[in-house]
Every structure is written in structure tokens, then in C-alpha cells.
Chains A and B, each alone.
Chain A
Amino acid sequence: MLEVTDLVTGYGKARAVDGVSLHVTQGSVFAVIGPNGAGKTTLMRAICGDLPMWSGAITFDGDSLRGLRSDARAKLGITLCPEGRRILSTLSVEENLRIGATPLARRHARSQRKRLVQEGLELAYERFPILRERRAAPGGALSGGQQQMLAIARALMSNPSLLLLDEPSLGLAPLVIEEVYGFLKTLRAEGLTLVLVEESAARALQFADRALVMKNGRTLLDGTAEEVRTSPRLSEAFLGEISEATL
């Protein structure tokens, strides 16, 4: 479904992702793990078109994504739930959800949009009753956990076929992380294709089918989650950083 080949990108002159390839099959969960600064977020941004790629290729359902900006990719069905949640704090909870429905609206005729958005809202409120309760509150007034729920619900409003989640557990209390992952399990059971970025390897590897370990913008390891989990090189990704930092 998603094929990334030799992707190179970065910021200014600095390469942050240097020749990474990955293949995500329909209905699977793909984890990208690695230490802080490995290039995971940059990779996600390049896939969803938030950051231009320098070289390489990305295809989605067989079509090249070259030259398509993020909004066009979202229309095709690729939605990123960005790092740090990026809730629009001045918009209400419901307005955040409505914005998330923009790609859905763009895929359908004007006459159907209102109904589709309404159905999406109903589904989001069913899944996350707290959002219904707080629908009129500004997004900025929500707690971190509620904002993460809103961020996921907002991304789902577009009815994506590929959902990229960048550190959905970042800065959340353990109980809330359980809740987030519980919900991601539901999505997986519904057959949604997920790409999950996490710094903490253990949880992501438990959850994913396949995994890629990044370090310094390159691929250190890839394979099934089981292979990666049991690989002796897994600790290298994280331990290397510690020894460098302590030197």
C-alpha cells in the first residue's frame, strides 16, 4: 500500500533522513522506532507531504506521490496525526473535528458533504464520549490525554486508508497510554493500516506487525516485529546514544 524507496530529506542543508526504504502492506501495523533525533518524525512528514523530499520515491497504492502537497495526499487517504498533537487551540473541539473532515469532504460531491461530516462527528463522539461532552470547549482547554484523543479523532475524520501516528504516547500518563493503545487496537481490528512512530520500543514492537529501527537518519534494522524485538542489535540503537551522550 505504501512504498518508500531510498528517501532522502532534511532541513536546510542538514540531512535528517538518509536513504530509508520501507514497505507497508494493507491492513498491517508498521512501527518506526529509534532514539530521539533518529529522523522518525522527518520521515513521517516526508511521507505525508509536510516536508519536500530531496530524492527517492514514495508510492501509495501504486501511484507516485511526487509533487503532491500534504492536502492532496490527505485527500488520497494519507493522514498524519502529528507529533505533539498540534490541536488548534483557538478552535473548539468540534471545529477541530470538522477541520479534520476536510479531505473527506473533498472526496465527495457537495450534496453529500454535510451528511458525511455529521456521520463522522457522531462516530467520533461515540468513540470518545469525552469529546462530545467538551465539544464547545476550545481545543487548548483540554488535558493532554483528551488532546491526544482529539488528535486521533480529528485524523480519523478524514476516513483515511493510511493513518500515520507520530508518538501518540508522548507526555501522557501510563493509564492514558493504555487507553490510547486500546483504541489503536480497535482501529487495527477494523482493518485500518497504521504507521506508528515511537521512541519507546517495547510497546510499539508488541503492537506492530513489522518494524523499522532508525538511527541517525538511516535504517539500523528492519523486519517483523518479532525479529526486531529479539535482535541483539536493537539495543545498539538506543545504547549507542547513551554512550555518546555520556562521553
Chain B
Amino acid sequence: MTAFFQSLFDALSAGSTYVMLALGITLLFGVMGLVNFAYGDLIVWCGYLMALLAGWHVNAVVGIAAVVALATVLSVGMGETVFRPFRKAPPLTLLLASIGVSLVLQAAIRIIFGEGFRPVPTPTFLGNTVVVGGVRMSVLALVSLGTAAVVVAGLYVLLQHTTIGLQMRAYAEDSDVAGLMGVRRERILTAAFALSGVIAGIVAMLWFAKIGTVQPSGDLNPTIKAFIAIVIGGLGSVRGAVIGGLLLGLFESALGAYLPAGLLPYVEGFAFLLIILVLIARPQGVAGKTVELSR
């Protein structure tokens, strides 16, 4: 029984990271139909900043603010320069543009920092564990869960109970009508990219605290996890990202616990198998009615 609860906890803590990864991407998809492949690169940039900040012994609060600020500035920057001109373009154009942004951001990292892995030191207390009823919980996992809960709740309140959230949802469904109704559309895009960036910054810190190193092509793994979660849950909705992220965590954890040792290296492959099965059974995702934030 303890083993079961242990797996469940591990699943939820891994899932909580996936949920946040997914939220940052699904938000932009919902608002403007953008599948943002450059999202993972924001996280990589944050990783390098974290490595630098750790070397400079920067105060933790200042460091956290700096990482979130970097991700937000980068996200808004790419939104304003690259994606705004394409705001009426078909999703495929947006997708290709985002791959372009991703390549540029990655190349910049290679030019500045070179190839290879860099350690991203994080406070050691995050690795401590507490044991409750036989279930071992690392401080990092608890922080991840707590942060995810706050991010999800915050995003929900913002979208459902604030004026800018209402305007975002209106823009997502019909940007022309939003304009006719007086919504300043340029602000909506800026807000969406800022929000996505803030989430990227937050999730980056938890991501690198877990894996401990960063490298130029380190964007791939978080991006793929996010997309798996989004596709499982249903594109473009917050609920879809939450459900998809948690399901992915559960699935990986279950595989890790019950798969024969010889197959463990292929856990990632099984995640793709899960996508295929979900898409066959429910193309709109597990939680999706249809696309919720999206047009």
C-alpha cells in the first residue's frame, strides 16, 4: 500500500511540473492559435541564467525575480516582434515561425555559452526528504506541487474573474468581435505572452532544480512533455492542461513502478504510445469538449 501511495505522490509531483509546462503553451494556443515551440528555449535561457546567478551567489529572492523577469521579457519580446505580425495567420505559419524563434534562441545560447552541459546548482535543502506514513517526499516535490496549485488557481481566477481575463477569453473566441466591443487587442497579446513567460520562468526553476544541468538543446524534453500533456488533456483549455499534465505524471510513474526493468529506458516512448491511444479514442483530448479557449 505504501508503494502505491509513493507512486501516487511521485506521479502528482512530476505531473505538477508537466501541468505548468503545458499551461504556458496552451494559453497562447488558446488565445491566438500559436503552438509555441520556442517555449522550451525560454526555459533553457532561464537555466543558463540560474547557472550564472548561482556562480555570483545572488540572493534567492532576487534570483527568482530575475529568472521570471528574463522569461517574461523574452516571451513578450518574441510575441511583439515575431508573432504579432502573424496574429491573423493560419496556425501552421505561427508554428513555423515559432520553430524559427526556437532556432535563434538556441543558436544564441551556443554562441554565448558553447556546447555541453552546465551544472545548475540549486539550494541543497530542496533535496531533503520528509517521510509521512512511509511515503518519502522531497522538499522539491512538495514545492512543485504547491507552486503548481498556486499557478493553476491564479490562472483560473485571472481568466474567470478579472476584466483582462474576460477580454482574453473573448479575444480567443473571436478577436474581431472583441475589437468591435472595444477591447484593445494589442494589449491582449502582450498580456498572454507575459503570462506565458511568467509561467515559463516559474517552471524553469523547478525543472532545473530537478535535473540539475542545462545544455543548449535542453528545450526538447520540456517542450515534448508539455505537448504530450496538452494533447492528452485537450488543446487550448486550462482544464485540459491540468488533467493532461497529471495524467502524464501518473502514466510515467505507473510505468516506472510496474514496467519490467529491461523496458525502463523506453518510458518516454510509452508516453507517445499513450498519445496515439488517446488520439484514437478521443481526438479532442480527455478533458476537451472541443477547444475551449480557442476559436
**9-residue interface stretch from A3-11, A14-22, A78-86, A222-230:** A78-86
State in angstroms the CA–CA spacing of A79 and B173 once bound together: 19
> Does B264 sit within 8 A of A, measured CB to CB?
no
Q: Which of A29-37, A54-62, A89-97 contacts B (4 or more CB under 8 A)?
A: A89-97
Within 8 Å of chain A (Cβ to Cβ): is B169? yes
**In the complex, how many angstroms separate the beta carbon of A86 from the nearest chain B beta carbon?**
5
Cα–Cα distance between A89 and B292 once the two chains are bound (Å): 10
> B residues within 8 A CB of A89?
173
Does chain B have a CB within 8 A of A137?
no
Q: Which residue of B lies closest to A89 (CB)?
A: B173
Residue of A nearest to B169 (CB): A91
Partner of A158, one of B167, B182, B184: B182
User: CB distance B174 to A99 under 8 Å?
Assistant: no
Q: Are the C-beta atoms of B166 and A95 separated by less than 8 Å? A: yes
List of B residues within 8 angstroms of A105 by Cβ: 163, 182
Could you tell me if A88 and B177 are in contact, using CB atoms closer than 8 angstroms?
yes
Cα A100 to Cα B185 with chains together (Å): 14
- Which of A68-76, A126-134, A173-181, A184-192 lies at the binding interface? A68-76
- Interface bits A122-148 vs B (CB < 8 Å: 1, else 0): 000000000000000000000000000
Closest to B185 in A: A71
- Which secondary structure characterizes the binding site on chain B? helix
C-alpha gap A46/B3 in the complex (Å): 66
In the complex, are the beta carbons of B184 and A71 less than 8 A apart? yes
CB < 8 Å A-B pair total? 68
Is the CB of B170 closer than 8 A to any CB of chain A?
Answer: yes
Knowing A91-B166, A98-B166, the reply to whether A70 touches B173 (Cβ < 8 A) is no
Pick the contact of A71 from B166, B169, B182, B292 — CB < 8 Å?
Answer: B182
List chain A residues, Cβ under 8 A from B177. Answer: 82, 86, 88
Q: With A and B bound together, what is the CA distance between A69 and B188 in angstroms?
A: 15
**A90 proximity list for chain B (CB < 8 A):** 169, 173, 292
Q: Is B115 an interface residue (CB 8 A)?
A: no
A99 near B170: Cβ-Cβ < 8 Å: yes
State which of A48, A91, A95, A98 has its C-beta within 8 Å of the C-beta of B180: A48
In whole angstroms, what is the CA distance A88 to B179 when docked? Answer: 13
Give complex CA distance A79, B183 in Å: 12
Interface string of A98-126 (1 = CB under 8 A from B): 11101111100000000000000000000
In the bound complex, do residue A71 and residue B173 qualify as a contact, i.e. CB atoms below 8 Å apart? no
Known: A86-B174, A91-B166, A95-B166. A69 touches B181 (CB 8 A): no
Interface residues of B (CB under 8 A from A): 163, 166-167, 169-170, 173-174, 176-185, 292
Interface residues in chain A, defined as those with a beta carbon under 8 Å from any beta carbon in chain B: 48-50, 69-71, 74-75, 79-80, 82, 86, 88-91, 95, 98-100, 102-106, 154, 158
Given A86-B174, A88-B170, 18 other A-B residues pairs in contact with their CB atoms under 8 A: A48-B180, A50-B180, A71-B180, A74-B179, A74-B181, A79-B181, A89-B173, A90-B292, A91-B166, A95-B166, A95-B170, A99-B170, A102-B181, A102-B182, A103-B182, A105-B182, A106-B182, A154-B181
When A and B form their complex, which 6 residue pairs have the shortest distance between CB atoms, in order from nearest?
A: A103-B182, A102-B182, A74-B182, A70-B179, A86-B177, A99-B170
